[in-house]
Structure 1
Amino acid sequence: MALRRPFTLPRQLLRPVARSSLGFSSQRKNGLATAVPPVTQDATSSKGPTAMVFLNMGGPSTTNEVEDFLSRLFADGDLIPLGRLQAYLGPLIAKRRTPKIQKQYSDIGGGSPIRKWSEYQCEEMCKILDQINPETAPHKPYVAFRYAAPLTEEMYTRLLDDGFGGGKGGRAVAFTQYPQYSCSTTGSSLNELWKWRNRLEGKRANGNSDVSGAIQWSVIDRWPTHPGLVEAFARNIEDQLKTYPEDKRDNVILLFSAHSLPMSVVNRGDPYPAEVAATVHAVMQRLNFSNPYRLCWQSQVGPSAWLGAQTSDTVQSYVERGQSDIILVPIAFTSDHIETLYELDLEVMEEANSPGVKRAESLNGNPVFIQALADIAQEHLRRGESCSPQMTLRCQGCKSERCLEQKKFFAGDKASSLVV
């Protein structure tokens, strides 16, 4: 993900949605998720249990975790390429920026809510899956963050402790929580998962590969236009539109905001901008193109060229022109974090200084969204694909051997030959 100021990440307040899911299966519980019983893998021939692993960037749950979070983030060349000096520059940048970012997390309540929402969403999705897809039940929820606890290696160790892999086999689904694919987000998380799979279940001490009884992985690598995702976004926008006077409602600008990318990544062929645009178009189609809209980008960091126009500049420009009724829509995020709660709410909206500039609710505990997650997972499990056909293609300008080998692994025997 991109970062706008000397380091600005995600944000937003915790506002659970308490509303029936209407056209989507309802019987969802609001509030805290109930405890999920332990699951163990006893038979390699059974279709269940199934580990459902949510992949995301993560965020520090307390201000004391900020420096470690930033150090991991700036060490990741997939996200923020710093060249051959990355291992040296990353920690220095992280240390310098820690006090400022700690202050930002303090301003949104002392930490990121992304772990709370990720665990809640995954647990509730697994409950639905147990009902609608009993042949792969029970479904066990896991979360693997790239830069904060629970880290990928922690999640993988839990899998092994729970009886998956380690000679017992078992199935696990890596489910990206970035609806739109980017090498810097989903790609980075899969690189990390592949790395720890190789370390913990790959080559043995004698150098020979032994995959018998290892976890069998498949990947849900993108879902930018899934009807349930689109419906959840559309309803949140409609709810916010109702707060404007009826005679002004149709003229409110819908400003979709997504994390930016360096142009070097975009020009390499990263599919993220196109997939974000596809989500925006699908949401507007669901809304019958009722309002004027634009897609813009937030969180640029550093002097290099990034994908624009920037969200903050766009809002200021519209307000200065007298177009001050604007709804910000965080279209690439599945829950609140510092980019919604701080960057949009406490920077962009406050700098606009206009009561007409508002933000659509984040997905968080939205029952329509959680049902969509279950529907996506069910379809994946029933189709039996290791990944989407799109994942077998590398970016046109990709030179990474790690990316090549990771894609071959997750594509599986049937599709690995398509990875070039």
Structure 2
Amino acid sequence: MTAIEPKIVPFASAAAAGGAPFVTTPVRYDGILLAGFGGPEGQGDVIPFLRNVTRGRGIPDERLEEVAHHYRHFGGVSPINGQNRALKAALEVELARRGHELPVYWGNRNWAPYLEEAVQDAAANDHTTLLAFATSAYSSFSSCRQYREDFARVLDETGLADKVTIDKVRPFYDHPGFVDAFENGVREAVERFLAEGVGASEIQILFSTHSIPTADAERSGARDIDWGPGGAYAAQHEAVAAWVMDRVRQALPAAADVHWELVYQSRSGPASQPWLEPDVCDVIGELPARGRRAVVVVPVGFMSDHMEVLWDLDTEAAEAAEAAGLSFVRTPTPGVSPAFVAGIVDLIEERLDGRPLAERGAVTGLGGSFDVCRPGCCENIRAGFKPAAAGLVP
């Protein structure tokens, strides 16, 4: 008889509980947990939502109003909940098409429907072995560990920690289904500008992602890997951007002289706190002096067109490009494209089948995309370590 490994990963399925970085034992999951950020769905929701996002930080409502106007510009409605409804429906269709009878439970960290409701609904239906897909592709506190901490908190607060287990799909920053939209978008934008007579050396590609505090970036990813400056978070984005540009140049030899760099957006911390730079709008303002006539902004850090894309890129970055006299294109996010939805189900099947590492989809070869997060990864230096699912303590 095979010995059962001791459970050293809290809240985990039996297959993941032993702490191996990759789970190659098939798991009979009985539900998928789609874990989102959440967003307001009316003007009256905006400030309560922002209080949830910033809870514990003591930010007064007057300062929250500085961010609230982004949402109020769109009627107080964030597109993110609608996008997750569409993603949930698309996943259910693709799972059924592949013969998986797996319900998808959707819950958010910061707005209704909350994760608590989703986990309680699953447990009420006797679906107690859950695999979570968090709607964020990269390694950092806010994009990975914070979701894992919320899974642990929800299981504890609902009294379901002894009944329900939650594993998590690995970071999927370089999965073929995720990067497909970025590759296609850049290629099409470059083709358009070349056809309009813009020289390749006059085109600038800006791969944009959410800025995070530098201290969080440096602690992102597994601690035993030397990621370089900016930790796993910066390294993963750089690797994806480099892969996209390599593919575009292979498809379009005329694009050999197109320039690119990684930039950041949506900074929200105090001026005294270092965050990842440079800012997308600052770089756009410098492009004419570099001899650029056109800019392509690629939202490589984002799954869908939520508020940071609609406001920070489609509004502010577009205005910066206009002020600089540059032609501007913002490329698509994955959204609910067939390639992305199929890619998510591929990630789910990795865990259902216990697929070995060599058979998993990844385009960059960077690595560090673990099924079970390693000890101490993605620390929040301001709050320290809290209990977290799907990873080794702390």
Q: Normalised by the shorter chain, which TM-score bucket?
A: 0.7 to 0.9
1:320 CA drift (Å): 4.4
Q: Distance in 2 between matches of 1:318 and 1:71?
A: 37
Aligned to 2:20: none
| Secondary structure of 1:103 counterpart | helix
Q: Distance in 2 between matches of 1:254 and 1:278?
A: 15
| 1:109–1:323 Cα change, 3 Å | farther
CA-to-aligned-CA distance 1:358-416 (integer Å, 9 cap, x gap): 2002222322221211222222221179x92561232387779974642xx424xxxx4
1:52 CA drift (Å): 1.4
Q: Distance in 1 between matches of 2:239 and 2:304?
A: 20
| Secondary structure of 1:294 counterpart | strand
Instruction: Choose from 346, 366, 369 the match for 1:375.
Output: 346
Paired residues of 2:149 and 2:386 also in contact (CA < 8 A): no
Instruction: Choose from 243, 249, 252 the match for 2:192.
Output: 243
Aligned partner letter, 1:63: Q
Question: Mapping of 1:324-403 within 5 angstroms?
Answer: 324-353=293-322, 354=325, 356-383=327-354, 388=370, 391-395=373-377, 403=385
| Secondary structure of 2:166 counterpart | strand
Aligned to 1:71: 51
| Secondary structure of 1:323 counterpart | coil
Instruction: Choose from 50, 53, 65 the match for 2:33.
Output: 53
Ranges in structure 1 where 5+ consecutive residues have no aligned partner: 1-46, 77-85, 165-169, 204-210
Question: Mapping of 1:175-194 within 5 angstroms?
Answer: 175-194=133-152
Aligned partner letter, 2:335: N
Ranges in structure 2 where 5+ consecutive residues have no aligned partner: 1-26, 221-230, 357-368
| Residue 295, structure 1, aligned to residue 262, structure 2 | yes
Q: Distance in 1 between matches of 2:82 and 2:378?
A: 37
Paired residues of 2:177 and 2:343 also in contact (CA < 8 A): yes
| 1:58–1:249 Cα change, 3 Å | farther
Aligned partner letter, 1:248: V
Aligned partner letter, 1:144: G
| 1:185–1:320 Cα change, 3 Å | same
Tell me the TM-score normalised to structure 2 length: 0.77
Q: Distance in 2 between matches of 1:113 and 1:400?
A: 30
Q: Distance in 2 between matches of 1:370 and 1:180?
A: 17
Paired residues of 1:221 and 1:388 also in contact (CA < 8 A): yes
1:283 CA drift (Å): 1.9
Number of aligned residue pairs: 335
| Secondary structure of 1:184 counterpart | helix
1:323 CA drift (Å): 1.1
Aligned partner letter, 2:81: R
| Secondary structure of 2:141 counterpart | coil
| 1:118–1:319 Cα change, 3 Å | farther
